[in-house]
Amino acid sequence: MDQDNNSEVSLGTAGHGSLHTDSEAVELLWQVRAQRRQSSPELPETVTRLTAPDGSLLYLVGTAHFSDSSKKDVATTIRAVQPDVVVVELCQYRVSMLKMDEKTLLKEAKDINLDKVQQAIKQNGVMSGLMQILLLKVSAHITEQLGMAPGGEFREAFKQAGRVPFCKFHLGDRPIPVTFKRAIAALSLWQKARLAWGLCFLSDPISKEDVEKCKQKDLLEQTMLEMIGEFPALHQTIVAERDIYLTHTLRQAARCVEAPPNAQKVPAVVVGVVGMGHVPGIERNWEKELNIQEIMSVAPPSRFGWMLRTVLKAGVIGVLGYACYRAGGGMGRALLSLPAVQSLLDNLRPLPPAAA
In DSSP notation, 240-284 reads IHHHHHHHHHHHHHSS-EEETTTTEEE--EEEEEEEGGGHHHHHH
Q: Which pLDDT score, from 0 to 100, does residue 136 have?
A: 65
Q: With respect to residue 89, please indicate whether it lies within any of the assigned structural domains.
A: yes
Measured in residues, the chain has a length of 356
Q: Which pLDDT score, from 0 to 100, does residue 180 have?
A: 81
Q: Which pLDDT score, from 0 to 100, does residue 354 have?
A: 46
Q: With respect to residue 8, please indicate whether it lies within any of the assigned structural domains.
A: no
Q: Which pLDDT score, from 0 to 100, does residue 226 have?
A: 59
122 and 82 in a single domain? The answer is: yes
Question: What is the per-residue DSSP string for 2-45?
Answer: EEE-SHHHHHHHSS-TT--SHHHHHHHHHHHHHHHS-SS----T
Q: Which pLDDT score, from 0 to 100, does residue 77 have?
A: 98
200 and 216 in a single domain? The answer is: yes
Q: With respect to residue 24, please indicate whether it lies within any of the assigned structural domains.
A: no
- Runs of H (alpha helix) within the chain: 7-13, 22-36, 68-81, 102-110, 114-124, 126-146, 152-161, 176-185, 189-200, 208-213, 219-228, 232-235, 241-253, 279-285, 306-328, 331-335, 339-348
287 and 313 in a single domain? The answer is: no
Q: Which pLDDT score, from 0 to 100, does residue 218 have?
A: 55
Q: Which pLDDT score, from 0 to 100, does residue 205 have?
A: 59
For residue range 15-39, list pLDDT tens digits in order. 444 445 788 889 999 999 999 999 8
Strands 2-4 and 168-171: antiparallel
Contact 219, 142 (CB under 8 A): yes
Q: With respect to residue 1, please indicate whether it lies within any of the assigned structural domains.
A: no
For residue range 231-282, list pLDDT tens digits in order. 777 778 888 999 999 999 999 999 999 998 888 999 999 999 999 889 999 9
58 and 189 in a single domain? The answer is: yes
What one-character DSSP code corresponds to residue 138? H
Q: With respect to residue 19, please indicate whether it lies within any of the assigned structural domains.
A: no
Positions of the chain with pLDDT lower than 50, given as ranges: 1-19, 208, 211, 215, 304-308, 329-333, 335-336, 340-356
Phi, psi of 51 (to 5 degrees): -120, 135
163 and 127 in a single domain? The answer is: yes
CA distance 354 to 241: 47
231 and 338 in a single domain? The answer is: no
Q: With respect to residue 213, please indicate whether it lies within any of the assigned structural domains.
A: yes
182 and 258 in a single domain? The answer is: yes
287 and 314 in a single domain? The answer is: no
251 and 335 in a single domain? The answer is: no
Structural domain harbouring 311: 307-347
314 and 213 in a single domain? The answer is: no
Q: Which pLDDT score, from 0 to 100, does residue 168 have?
A: 97
Q: Which pLDDT score, from 0 to 100, does residue 110 have?
A: 63
Burial, 115: exposed, middle or buried (Cβ in 10 Å; 0-12, 13-18, 19+)? exposed
Q: With respect to residue 45, please indicate whether it lies within any of the assigned structural domains.
A: yes
Q: Which pLDDT score, from 0 to 100, does residue 247 have?
A: 98
Q: Which residues, 6+ apart, have CB-to-CB distance to 280 below 8 Å? A: none
213 and 343 in a single domain? The answer is: no
320 and 191 in a single domain? The answer is: no
User: CA 343 → CA 242, 325, 347, 351, distances in Å?
Assistant: 32, 21, 6, 14
